[in-house]
Amino acid sequence: MENHTIASSSITFLKNLEKNNNRDWFIENKTQYTTAQSNIIAFADQLITLMSTNDAIETVSGKKSLYRIYNDVRFSKDKSPYKSRFALGLQRATNLKRGGYYLHIQPGNNFLACGFFSPNPDDLKRIRKDIELNPAAWRKILNSKSITDNFVELTGNVIPTSPRGFAKDHEAIDLIRHKQFILRHNFTNQEVTDPQFVYKVNEIFKSVRPFFDYLSFVLTTDLNGETII
């Protein structure tokens, strides 16, 4: 398999875009953008190939995984026309495999994240109910070596009080208050352009599987453990 490294020129493009975030500059440097974009797509293609050996990935290509660089200023406080980052998202295949993968390439703010970014109301209620009933199982997974060696603590949006129907003094209320369940790993600029970076990302994504497998079971069964799919 050909190894696709994120080129230093792709990082340089993002740094220059951060300093010159306007349409005139972008148009003048469109060739730099397309070159960098092609580099990131090739990297993403290789990542998908690697991940597909240990997980079922629904996202079919690096091109399909890539988020748009254009900023939708209608719904953003940031009125810059472009996002000075490359980002890709990978979804797991079928309703039996839950959870998503995200990689963010931005000088000084490189990271990957995986988990449950926007669970629908029914899924969120089911997750919270499982935390309420099985707090020890959650602590065991989140404190496992594969998680603590690779991720900072569980992150994501959290409501300020206990959700309706849940006791505010529950031993796992800190988890129940979550609206998102995200694990994150940060990278330096040097790590991103290392030839082994794609393999490192694959291994870190793979390390989250116990968490994904557990929540996939939770979200495809009822409280009695009977399948609902």
pLDDT in tens, 95-136: 899 999 999 999 999 999 999 999 999 999 999 999 999 999
Span 49-97, pLDDT tens digits? 999 999 999 999 999 999 999 998 887 788 899 999 999 999 999 889 9
Domains of the chain in sequence order: 8-220 (3.30.930)
Model pLDDT, residue 177: 98
Cα angle 210, 170, 224; round to 5: 55
Strand 86-91 to 110-116 pairing: unpaired
Radius of gyration of the chain (CA): 19
Report whether 186 contacts 201 (CB < 8 A): no
- Residues in the chain, overall count: 229
H or E segment at 114? strand 110-116
Q: How many CB atoms lie within 10 A of CB 161?
A: 9
Model pLDDT, residue 16: 98
H or E segment at 101? strand 100-105
Report whether 77 contacts 31 (CB < 8 A): no
Model pLDDT, residue 151: 97
